[in-house]
Structure 1
């Protein structure tokens, strides 16, 4: 029965832009700011560790390829 109802013609109206102001409930509290800084520091350390690990693995693979060539 829904197929028999008339439809709107033409383009749909443009979407309104969302407001840029964050509501007071979305602003982080001071305690959560410290927690976010701790998490940021942890993630930076983890990222540095993983980069060094990847470089080590690549160096080992390169050494193995060079030994295999000879």
Structure 2
């Protein structure tokens, strides 16, 4: 489920039913996103085929935590 600002419509973040205890914040919602340096490229196997990055960061191929199998993969919904 995605969350948006009720006044301006800015994307705030989202929750994933398969990982119910987590909330993902959109980088555009932060006042100073440059202070949050990436530590890895997550969900690398799910990236768009034309995305290529030579940034030296570790690649996390898919999900690293157990998801509720009844909910499946979000990209298949």
What TM-score bracket applies, with the shorter chain setting the length? under 0.3
TM-score (normalised: structure 2)? 0.19
TM-score (normalised: structure 1)? 0.20
Name whichever structure is richer in strand by fraction: 2
More relative contact order in 1 or in 2 (CA 8 Å, sep 6+)? 2
Larger Rg: 1
Name whichever structure is richer in helix by fraction: 1
